Every structure is written in C-alpha cells, then in structure tokens.
Amino acid sequence: MATAEVIFDEVVGIHVGSLEVRLAQNDAEIDAAQALRYRIFFEEGAAVASPDMAARRRDIDRFDSSFDHLIVIDHAIPEPDQCVVGTYRLNRASIAARTGGFYSAGEYDIRRLLRAKGEVLELGRSCVDPDYRTGSTMALLWRGISAYVDYYDITCLFGCASLPGTDPERLAQPLSYLHHFHLAPAAIRPRALPALYVPMNRIAREALDVRAGREALPPLIKGYLRVGGFIGDGAVIDQQFQTTDVCVVVRVETITAKYRQHLGDGGRMLGLV
C-alpha cells in the first residue's frame, strides 16, 4: 500500500512526553493505524467486520491508499502494531479529484460544499485508544490537524461523524437539536443521498429539551460544534458500523482566534512550514 502524496523529505512531529503526532510515513505505520481502528470500531464498538477484516484484524477500505493518515505514536510502546494510539484520515479535494474521491460522498451530496472557494479537507476514521482518551491526546491530534490546515491553506473541513445506534427514534433528541440549532448555511450544506436520507427534525423546536439534546451528543461532535461547526441536512444509517451518521462542516475562518492560539505553533513543529 502506498502512502498519500509525499511532499516532505523529513517529517518532524510534535512531541509531548512520549507521544508524537505526525503523518504516517510508511505502510507499517498505516497498518498500525488500521489495527487501532479495528480494535476501536470492531472490538470495542459494534461494527460488523468482513471476513477479510476479521482475519487480519484491520479496518481497511479502498480509501486508505490515497488518504493521508495523521497518527499519534506512543514511543514508550515497543510493539509496532500497538504504538499508534490515535489517528485521523485526511483527504484534500485536490487529491480526491485524481484518486478515489471522498468517503463522505457515499452518504452525502457534497457538491455545494465542493463549490466553496478554496481547498477543502475531509476528516474521518477518528479514533483514540481507550487508555489515551484524555484532553491532551485529542489536543495533540488537533494540533496536527491545525498544522495540516495551515500548510495546505484549507478553508473548510468536513466529514461524517457518528452517533451510536441505528434507531433514529432513540436518537430523536440529539438529531433534532442538531437540526434546529446547527444546520449548515444553504450555500455549503451537504444533504444525505435520497436513498439514505433519514429526517433529523423528529421533535418540534418548541417541544425539544435543548439541554438533553446537546448532552446526548458524542464528545467528538460536541468538539466540532465548539469550534463553530455546522451539520448537513439529514442523517444516514451505517449498518456496518452500527451508527447513525451526520455530516459535519467547519469553516476555518469561524474557528476562534483563542482556540487557534491554544493549538500552538503546530505548523512549524510538524515540519509543514
């Protein structure tokens, strides 16, 4: 398997203690990210593995060979397939146009979003090992994303994010909350594909328990909303991963200066500038 477009002679990561965040540099590091994804999505979670995935204990799809893989490595772990403790997949529009396209396009019509000015970046397959689910680990991942965004002059981030379970009625509160309070502007709003579209407006705004809806959201979606994220129109049931997906959109210009400062000078430290 080849890594995504290589533009650096040397990638220098951001270090915090024994942890380092940087782009995967070779097939072995991508394999370790796939091993982590399998442990989180298929062993800890309820995702249903194909026979090949189960035999290899790896989460693999056709996009892995063309995406960049942001990884957090714990250098205190000697086992090569265990040392990746956090990961994100990154896919720029300029790369997607000549490779495998976008993962999100299998669930959402993203044409409006792609017409927006500037480079857009798809985020996906985010996961962190249970022993590393701390604010510092997630901040390290986001420092890596921030560096990537700065280097490639990304103007908009998007991707599918998941709520656990496949029964929209049981998720009526958080889905309705997202619909009423965080719907993306029409000009950049993704919409679930017609055959997959699940209405999110399940409870009228005046009848909604706003606090309950907000608190029922997974931490990752809450994080996107905190930095000014929006949600597309319609949810999608993912039977393989046993989740209900929404499409998140974040315009880089809306990320507050305070939050960007909190991420630090990640671009310089990651070797991207």
Residue 186, domain CATH: 3.40.630.30
- 182 within domain boundaries: yes
| pLDDT score at 77 | 95
Q: Which residue range is the domain that position 152 belongs to? A: 14-269
- 65 within domain boundaries: yes
- 151 within domain boundaries: yes
Q: What number of CA atoms fall less than 13 Å from residue 40's CA on the CB side?
A: 21
First to last CA, the chain: 27
- 52 within domain boundaries: yes
| pLDDT score at 94 | 87
| pLDDT score at 189 | 97
Taking the C-alpha atoms of residue 143 and residue 72, their distance in angstroms, rounded to an integer, is 11
30-94-186 Cα angle (round to 5): 110
- 7 within domain boundaries: no
Average pLDDT per consecutive 10 residues, the chain (273 residues; last block may be shorter): 37 82 94 98 96 97 94 94 95 87 97 91 96 88 90 94 97 98 97 98 98 96 93 98 97 72 42 30
- 1 within domain boundaries: no
- 84 within domain boundaries: yes
| pLDDT score at 134 | 86
- 2 within domain boundaries: no
| pLDDT score at 257 | 55
pTM of the model: 0.89
How many domains, in total, are found in the chain? 1
